[in-house]
Structure 1
Amino acid sequence: MKIILKHFIIIIALIVFNGSNFFAQKQGSDIKWIRPNDNFDEAVWGIEGGIVIGLWPSPIEIGKNSTGGPRGLFRIGYQAGGKVHHINYIAVEPVVDGEMEFSEISPSRVDETWGKMMWASENENPGSFSPAARTRGEISNPDSENPEVEELSFYVFMEKFKNGAHPYFRVSIRSDKPEEIGFEIFHQDNSAEMERCVLTATMGNYARARNLYLKDEIVNSKELYTGYEEIDFIEKEEYGKDRIIKNKGGEFIAIIESDEDFAELAAWPQEKKYFQNQNWRYRPFFKVVQYWKKDSQEADNSLRIRVNGRATYWAGGSSDESNYIAIPRGPAFENFELREDYEEGQQFYFGISRKNVEELIAR
């Protein structure tokens, strides 16, 4: 244990002395990837003018806080205006024998505190946890008909869950689709059989996402959760495959966005309790639309949309109501996901876009 701790301290020291060196780089083209300088740099990857992903303990929004938030989550942001704006988190929720486990609150086997350890690798050899990047990511040309298109990819591994699930992921970003990340889901040999392995976006409240776009209607969280003012999550029905929009390219796409204009979204109540919770104030200088996407040729009949909501911002699971503040202008969606029965290699895409809903559907 002392040897492991010593190595951990050495790696941390290397990160500190190396500084926050993830940066945009040209790769023999005009594409500017955001990648670690080396394997000891911070665990942050992305593309300029598009999506960014990071792993604990590396913050993606510099200056937000020292570790960027909870453990056991993918950190998801958007690079614009010379900085990365942290927009959401994505949690891993595998189901084994009907039992679901949650990566951000499931205790680590290392220290028994909330949040599974997650780490990156350049290939399917998991190695072991490191707080540093461990890989810069591989850049390839995935489309032979369009050789100018590049893809940045790497693998992400995590601790085994207590229910026996042991998933891992191939993460990818394409230069021709800079606002989205692809997640392919696999399992290690020692994994229990998973009925489902959900990736769920967990922080819809931050962008006050209230409109969910379906094929036949727009579901508004304030109407769906009318009268709800409690501090817990609230959840109603899921929405089946037959209600999910297909975009022009034939992909299933589930979309959420705020029902506020930017001026309303950027405003923050001028009250002491809200001043003390500035971390929930929406900081980007632009609105975003968030979405999950699935290739319709690969989708099965179990595909569906699941959301839940909150009337108050999350306060770490506290039971003390005084620790919570109401979300301005009413309840918003919190967790947002596409669910589907598990099949090894299944792929989902998560996007954060500055395009409007009509533009996303028309692609």
Structure 2
Amino acid sequence: MPVFCMTLLAISVNSCNSKNEKANDGDAQETYSHNWITPNADGGDCIPVWGHHDGIRIGLAPTGGPRGLLRVYAPYLNLSTDSLKMINFIALEPIISGGDSRGFSELEPSTLDNVRGKRFWSANRADAIEPRSVQDCASGVIEQVNGREALTLYVHSEEFDSGAKVYVRVRFYEDSPYEIELTSYTAEESAPLDNFILTATMGNFARLRNLYLKDGIKSSWVLWPDYRDSNFTPHDYTSVSNMLEDKNGSVYFVAAPNEDDPTAVTYSSDTKEHWKYKGQKATQYWKKLNPSPNLNGLVNGRYAYWASESPIPGGISYENFELKEPFKNGSVFYFGVSPLDPETFIGSIEK
């Protein structure tokens, strides 16, 4: 069992109040913090999870789920006794210039080992573009960013079939325990991009059905009242002009369940156990500072859980949930999972 800065399987280990070294990238620098979860950086096996000690986290394969996805963990929702229970995944989906189709990071086979899903690896630096073993975890860098303590790492992907070569900087701030900053980049050798979409791909787990917009609630039930297929619906678009705003002009694309208690539902007998929601419900959102006028929010829906014919209790819900805009290197997006109900969350951002 690798040492890891959290309690796993009832084994209590260091909780990141000891030194955090910039392992694997050289130039080791020791810092100290009680705020963060990071992998073991002593050269042994690692559990690739980073984030807040008491808040949101991200992880990479080989923790549970398909390759080619960032795992999003929200242990504060008490989804399971296992802290590695995802609330959502985030996929990387680049569209090359002049192209009309996305790359799908979790579906494209790897050219490195023929496994389905592009290989992701972690690093403490942006230029660590050469593929790494899944057991070669970056420690993450604890630093001060504009007066706020932050944990920063980079997640790189192998090249997509289209020639897109992309990576993201992942950053957590100590005073934003339920939010992740994701900055999108292309490597120098990448094909040029029209778009680089970061999409939250597992809205069906939480049964997200309501989008909260300036002109009211947009319901999946209203968008696709008669859809009963087991595939994805077409995308629905929301323009930036209809997204909620805070006083600084940042926009929010907000989704939440429409159920008072998501644990009080009856599942089909063929529903797999991992789809059954057992925790506190939450409000999920994308946020964009200084948004482009060409920014759109996209959702699609599913009537049945992914890779099954098992109907989702209560009917169709949103699955992919994302922001899309013309690509610009270094674009910053925020993804959050708030334990507040949507009305309270919206009230907090409007203040």
Q: Return the TM-score normalized by structure 2.
A: 0.86
Residue of structure 2 in register with 1:140 after alignment: 143
Alpha-carbon distance in structure 2 between the residues aligned to 1:164 and 1:351: 30
In the TM superposition, 1:220-299 aligns within 5 A as 220-262=219-261, 265-269=262-266, 272-274=269-271, 277-284=272-279, 286-296=280-290, 299=291
Q: Which has the larger helix fraction?
A: 1
Shift of 1:128: 2.3
CA contact (8 A) 2:267 2:313 kept: no
Alpha-carbon distance in structure 1 between the residues aligned to 2:273 and 2:67: 21
- The CA RMSD measured in Å over matched residues stands at 1.9
Choose the corresponding residue for 1:324, options 301, 309, 321: 309
Residue of structure 2 in register with 1:119 after alignment: 121
Residue of structure 2 in register with 1:156 after alignment: 155
What letter corresponds to residue 162 of structure 1 in structure 2?
Answer: D
CA contact (8 A) 1:205 1:333 kept: yes
Percent of aligned pairs sharing the same letter: 36
In the TM superposition, 1:175-254 aligns within 5 A as 175-254=174-253
Gaps of 5+ in 1: 1-17, 60-67, 316-322
Alpha carbons of structure 1 residues 243 and 133: separation in structure 2 relative to 1, 3 Å: farther
Residue of structure 1 in register with 2:329 after alignment: 344
Per-residue CA distance 1:251-294 (angstroms, 9 max, x = gap): 110000000012xx1135365323xx11100132x111100000
Residue of structure 2 in register with 1:62 after alignment: none
Residue of structure 2 in register with 1:63 after alignment: none
Residue of structure 1 in register with 2:110 after alignment: 108
Alpha-carbon distance in structure 2 between the residues aligned to 1:34 and 1:79: 12
Answer yes or no: is 1:174 the counterpart of 2:173.
Answer: yes
Per-residue CA distance 1:40-97 (angstroms, 9 max, x = gap): 411100112310100011x2xxxxxxxx010000000112268524100000110012
Gaps of 5+ in 2: 7-14, 19-30
CA contact (8 A) 1:247 1:360 kept: no
Residue of structure 2 in register with 1:73 after alignment: 69
Shift of 1:236: 4.4
In the TM superposition, 1:8-23 aligns within 5 A as 18-19=1-2, 21-23=4-6
CA contact (8 A) 1:181 1:350 kept: yes
Q: Return the TM-score normalized by structure 1.
A: 0.83
Alpha-carbon distance in structure 2 between the residues aligned to 1:260 and 1:252: 25
Alpha-carbon distance in structure 2 between the residues aligned to 1:268 and 1:20: 38
Aligned length: 319
What letter corresponds to residue 342 of structure 1 in structure 2?
Answer: F
In the TM superposition, 1:36-115 aligns within 5 A as 36-38=39-41, 40-57=45-62, 59=63, 68-80=64-76, 84=83, 85-96=85-96, 97-98=98-99, 99-115=101-117
Residue of structure 1 in register with 2:302 after alignment: 310
Q: Secondary structure at the match of 1:308?
A: strand
CA contact (8 A) 2:210 2:219 kept: yes
Shift of 1:360: 3.0
What letter corresponds to residue 55 of structure 1 in structure 2?
Answer: L
Shift of 1:143: 2.6
CA contact (8 A) 1:46 1:53 kept: yes
